């Protein structure tokens, strides 16, 4: 991507970033609705229309700037409203609702990998726009994988924190929940200190190598 201009990088990255963040959030609502909580549906959030989920700062500005200038990408959409008390099995349900976000990011990464395969095959056949599509697919893989891994950190209010809290004994869950207001400051400290890099980079390296092997196997 170093040979691309800033505008070209934005053009290639905007769609994968927008989809990664907004579909992640929509997935929480779809799973919650399936498990008995219609709150997101009543709020009009059961849709893949990005406009319904976009937080302009967290969905576009922050992830796009990070994509352009750092090794990491994370962002957020408008939180989908969830009422755990309406889930048929609140603790099991919250685990599945939380897991839906990272889960759909992994599925999207696989979808982008398939696009890379098609685009690379298209390059040999002289297909128009094959190279930009291949680059977009690579961005899609990276963005979705790092969002999945980042969100699986066992820190509230991240999805990994909610998943962990839902399987802990109730007393431990209550103690963990009291730390939620400090979750995002903790993440910022981990990021600035470099601890987050030391956690995420080895995991991302392994996942990217797996996806590269998957792509090469299909070519």
Q: Could you tell me if 150 and 188 are in contact, meaning their C-beta atoms sit under 8 angstroms apart?
A: no
- The CA distance from 187 to 175, in Å, is 19
131 as an active site residue: the answer is: no
Q: Which of 25, 131, 173, 180 is catalytic?
A: 25
**Within 10 A of 56 (CB to CB), how many other CB atoms are there?**
8
Beta-carbon contacts of residue 182 (< 8 Å; ≥ 6 apart): none
193-204 b/e (C-beta count within 10 Å ≥ 16 → b): eeebeeebeeeb
Length of the chain: 219
- The CA distance from 165 to 66, in Å, is 29
- The CA distance from 67 to 138, in Å, is 12
Instruction: Report phi then psi at 47, rounded to 5.
Output: -155, 150
- Catalytic residue numbers read 25
């Amino acid at each position: 991507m170093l040979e691309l201009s800033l505008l070209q990088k934005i053009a290639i990255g905007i769609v994968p970033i927008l989809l990664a963040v907004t579909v992640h959030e929509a997935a929480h609502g779809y799973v919650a609705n399936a498990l008995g909580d219609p709150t997101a549906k009543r709020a009009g959030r059961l849709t893949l229309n990005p406009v319904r989920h976009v937080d302009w700062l967290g969905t576009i500005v922050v992830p796009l700037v990070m994509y352009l200038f750092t090794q990491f990408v994370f962002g957020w959409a408008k939180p989908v409203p969830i009422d755990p008390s309406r889930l048929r099995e609140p603790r099991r349900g919250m685990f599945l609702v939380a897991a839906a976000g990272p889960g759909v990011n992994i599925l999207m990464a696989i979808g982008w990998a398939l696009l890379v395969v098609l685009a690379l095959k298209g390059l040999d056949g002289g297909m128009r726009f094959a190279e930009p599509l291949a680059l977009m697919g690579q961005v899609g893989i990276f963005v979705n994988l790092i969002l999945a891994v980042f969100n699986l950190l066992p820190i509230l209010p991240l999805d990994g924190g909610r998943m962990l809290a839902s399987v802990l004994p109730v007393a431990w869950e209550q103690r963990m929940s009291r730390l939620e207001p400090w979750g995002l400051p903790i993440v910022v400290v981990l990021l600035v200190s470099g601890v987050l890099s030391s956690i995420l980079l080895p995991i991302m390296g392994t996942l990217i190598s797996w996806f590269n092997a998957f792509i090469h196997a299909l070519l």
